[in-house]
Amino acid sequence: AENQAIGELPSDWEGSMDVVVSFFALEHVADPRTFADEVHWLLKSDGVFYFLVPNIFTNPADFMVVDHINHFSEWSLHRLLVNAGFVVQDIDRKAHSSAWVVVATKSDVEAVVPATEVPNINQKRKEAIAIQITDGTKIPAILFLEVLV
């Protein structure tokens, strides 16, 4: 069973994957940053991370799903991925009626998105954005930001 793993990933898998796909899993993960870091670790240079997560703006009932411990906005997904070492190629809100469809590529250049930088938000709408952030103490917090136009 050298081509499967539960729990810890085999060390020889580092940088060995061309693509990692995840369908409706990240909202169940206790630590999305560690998850994203592990995906980054698995991918080859320029490898692709393709995933779907519920879109709370098109499906607010997702807040009622008890085992969905994370909820994402376009901005929080972008920040999570960039901070984990990815270049965001697309965060699509239209390809699926109730989910974000996300494509990101591995980057070996470390970057951090400042808390005040909101990338590419559609300026013609008003929406509350739920953002999971981590302060210097590594304690997760939730910040609600309202984008007004």
CB contact at 8 A, 129 and 75: yes
> What are the residues whose beta carbons fall under 8 Å from the beta carbon of 58, sequence distance 6 or more?
93, 97, 98, 99
DSSP string, 37-92: HHHHHHEEEEEEEEEEEEBTTT-GGGGG-TT----B-HHHHHHHHHHTTEEEEEEE
**Six token digits for residue 80:** 């999570």
pLDDT, residue 83, reads 95
**In angstroms, what CA-CA distances link 27 with 3, 24, 133, 143, 146?**
25, 7, 15, 17, 22
Identify the pLDDT of residue 27: 96
By CB neighbour count within 10 A (0-12 exposed, 13-18 middle, 19+ buried), where does 64 fall? exposed
d(CA 43, CA 102): 16
What strand order describes the sheet that includes 99-106? 17-23, 43-54, 99-106, 86-92
Q: What is the pLDDT of residue 108?
A: 77
Q: Residue 105: pLDDT above 70? A: yes
Closest-CA residue to 117 (of 87, 145, 89): 145
Q: What percentage of the chain exceeds 90 in pLDDT?
A: 64
pLDDT tens for 118-146 read 555 444 333 333 333 343 444 333 333 33
Report the C-alpha gap between 106 and 47 in whole angstroms.
Answer: 5
pLDDT digits (tens, 9 = 90+) for 15-55: 999 999 999 999 999 999 999 999 999 999 999 999 999 99
Residue 93 has pLDDT above 90, yes or no: yes
Can you give the pTM of this predicted structure? Answer: 0.73
Whether 103 shows a pLDDT value over 90: the answer reads yes
